[in-house]
Structure 1
Amino acid sequence: MVLTPSTMLPLGTKAPNFQLPDVVSEKTISLETFANKKAILVMFICQHCPFVKHIQTQLAKLGHDYVDKGLGIVAISANDVANYPDDSPSNLKKMAQELGFNFPVCYDESQEIAKAYTAACTPDFFLFDGDYQLVYRGQLDDSRPGNNIPVTGKDLRIAIDAILGGNSITIEQKPSIGCNIKWKAGNEPPYYG
């Protein structure tokens, strides 16, 4: 495990489009899936990472808390499943069902979508407004495995509530920290490492 921070993609960046299969429904998910939403949260996660396991219940809670408030949510896993079979689509599906995720969990086999978002770690969060402009990127909250800080989702929730309420985001945006995305050999992006 390599402890890796977010790249902190510049605010205002337009959300890269994608077309990825949802591991549960097998439907193709894209930005257009969320066209009627006030905001969209794109999360890069995986099944095996201890940082994701630490917050996975909060991720499910986010989905349920915001389902009727105009927030679209999609989780994407881009890990190399040849070397990390725990992150295979079937295991992602099992995780989504066991945790009760009510949002799509997609698999980015080519890793091109992770690169387009400059995702570096799991978890990595990107919040876009209704015009697909990046308004928040960074951590869920200050909790990490072993630091005894409760998992509340505070930082991300403040940002979500602000954007859904039509307000600007004033919270300090701190990088997320987690396991590095497991790139396929020779596929590492230039910002990695």
Structure 2
Amino acid sequence: MVLLYSTEPQLNSALIPFNLKGVDGKNYSEKDFENARALVIIFMCNHCPYVKAVIKRFVDFQAKYIDKGVRLVGINSNDAEAYPEDSFENMINFYNEWKMNFPYLVDETQEVAKAYDAQCTPDIYLYDSKGLLKYRGRFDDNWQDETKVKVRDLENAVELVLQGKDVDFKQMPSMGCSIKFKSL
């Protein structure tokens, strides 16, 4: 397991188009979320301990914010040949095991992860209703123990975006396992 941090965000950059298959068999693109008041894209996978530690928090977060027009999308870009735990079949199992309430998509070609410059799992991007990047960083300040969380970074950012305000606090990078890119 290689620990990586997300890179410096290019705030106010436009949402990058994608068209990926979900574990439910449907294809999803950014257009499916154009009515969202905020869109959270999470690059994630099945096997990373950092993701496993926070996946329930993602599910709880979506349940809390769905009625406010906030949508989450999970994208798995890992090389499933080298990491079979991240295969599409295992994505379906992971989705069901965690009772995920947001689309979980496979980026088999890894083109979407590269376009976003995604580095780690989880790597979190928050876009406003205009499709502009407002936040890229960690979910909260304690990935290991939810009971010790003092700062809920993503929640604070979403609340500001829903109020039409800029995220005015220091954005701390996500940290997690490296995205497992295919060898050339």
Other-structure match for 1:173? 171
Other-structure match for 1:190? none
Post-superposition shift, 1:67?
Answer: 1.1
- The answer as to whether partners of 1:58 and 1:152 remain within 8 angstroms in 2 is no
Deviations 1:32-67 (A, max 9, x none): 001111111100000000000111110111111111
Other-structure match for 1:69? 68
Other-structure match for 1:131? 130
**TM-score w.r.t. structure 2 length?**
0.95
Total equivalences in the alignment: 184
Deviations 1:82-126 (A, max 9, x none): 010101111111111121211100000000000011100000000
Post-superposition shift, 1:171?
Answer: 2.0
Quote the Cα distance in structure 1 between the aligned partners of 2:27 and 2:2.
Answer: 31
Cα RMSD of the aligned pairs, angstroms, is 1.6
- Of 95-104 and 28-37, more deviation after overlay is shown by 95-104
SS where residue 148 of structure 2 aligns?
coil
Quote the Cα distance in structure 2 between the aligned partners of 1:151 and 1:59.
Answer: 14
Give % identity.
40
Quote the Cα distance in structure 1 between the aligned partners of 2:151 and 2:78.
Answer: 24
Quote the Cα distance in structure 1 between the aligned partners of 2:6 and 2:60.
Answer: 23
Post-superposition shift, 1:152?
Answer: 7.3
Unaligned runs of 5+ in 1: 187-193
Large movers: runs of 4+ above 6 Å: none
The structure in which a higher percent of residues are helix is 2
Matches within 5 A, 1:150-169: 150=148, 154-169=152-167
Unaligned runs of 5+ in 2: none
Other-structure match for 1:189? none
- The answer as to whether partners of 1:74 and 1:103 remain within 8 angstroms in 2 is yes
Quote the Cα distance in structure 2 between the aligned partners of 1:162 and 1:113.
Answer: 27
- The answer as to whether partners of 2:134 and 2:167 remain within 8 angstroms in 1 is yes
Post-superposition shift, 1:144?
Answer: 3.3
Post-superposition shift, 1:168?
Answer: 2.0
Quote the Cα distance in structure 1 between the aligned partners of 2:142 and 2:167.
Answer: 21
Other-structure match for 1:86? 85
Residue 2 (str. 1) matches residue 25 (str. 2): no
